[in-house]
């Protein structure tokens, strides 16, 4: 299964729609979001346009945690958490300093995080940590990642180049 990894959207619906449309062209209708969606309208847009979304809370969220419960397709993990996708333990947090908290819950094959707005993939001691950058394009060029949970392939994308 393929996922768009989108973080730090910061209510930029223009960039979100461009990313979503590109994903549809690639038959990608699932997402993982390491936070900073920001408001209720953007949260609703995500819920309407993705089959399944794994989501953690960012540091700038305006929506209330209870709002997430309205959407059956949003798998909300709170501040950080671990979920199983295609038999892999996948960690999710917003700030990179929570990675240690994620790994304390359960060893993971991969952890997605955001916050820094710097796209980054690193593999160390069998753990992949990945930051898709900021889809909102705040401070750096808008970026996201694509992850194939079956093959493990992970690729960063610059929005203006797709």
- What pLDDT sits at residue 36? 95
Burial of residue 115, with CB atoms counted within 10 A of its CB: 0-12 exposed, 13-18 middle, 19 or more buried: buried
Strand ranges inside the chain, DSSP E: 2-5, 30-33, 52-55, 74-76, 80-85, 88-93, 110-112, 120-124, 127-131, 143-148, 154-158
Tokens of 16: 């979100």
Mean of pLDDT values over 23-36: 98
Query: For the segment 112-159, what is each residue's pLDDT rounded down to a tens digit?
Result: 999 999 999 999 999 999 999 999 999 999 999 999 999 999 999 999
Does residue 34 carry a pLDDT above 80? yes
Query: For the segment 63-118, what is each residue's pLDDT rounded down to a tens digit?
Result: 877 899 999 999 999 999 999 999 999 999 999 999 999 999 999 999 999 999 99
Which residue segments constitute the domains of the chain, with CATH numbers given?
Answer: 2-161 (3.60.21.10)
Backbone angles phi, psi at 27, to 5 degrees: 60, 40
The string of DSSP letters for 131-160 reads: E---TT-SSS--EEEEEETTT--EEEEEGG
Q: What is the pTM of this model?
A: 0.96
Identify the three-state secondary structure at position 38.
Answer: coil
Average pLDDT, the chain: 96
């Amino acid at each position: 299964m393929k996922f768009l990894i989108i973080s730090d959207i910061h209510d930029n619906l223009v960039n979100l729609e461009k990313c979503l449309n590109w994903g549809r062209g690639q038959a990608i209708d699932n997402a993982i979001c390491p936070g900073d969606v920001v408001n209720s309208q953007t949260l609703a847009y995500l819920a309407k346009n993705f089959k399944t979304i794994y989501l953690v809370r960012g540091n700038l969220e305006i929506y209330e945690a209870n709002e997430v419960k309205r959407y059956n397709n949003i798998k909300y993990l709170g501040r950080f958490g671990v979920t199983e996708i295609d038999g892999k333990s996948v960690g999710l947090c917003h700030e990179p300093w929570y990675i240690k908290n994620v790994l304390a819950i359960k060893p993971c094959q991969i952890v997605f995080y955001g916050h820094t707005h710097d796209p980054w993939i690193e593999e160390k001691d069998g753990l992949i940590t990945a930051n898709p950058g900021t889809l909102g394009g705040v401070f750096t060029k808008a970026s996201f990642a694509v992850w194939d949970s079956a093959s493990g392939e992970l690729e960063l994308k610059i929005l203006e180049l797709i």
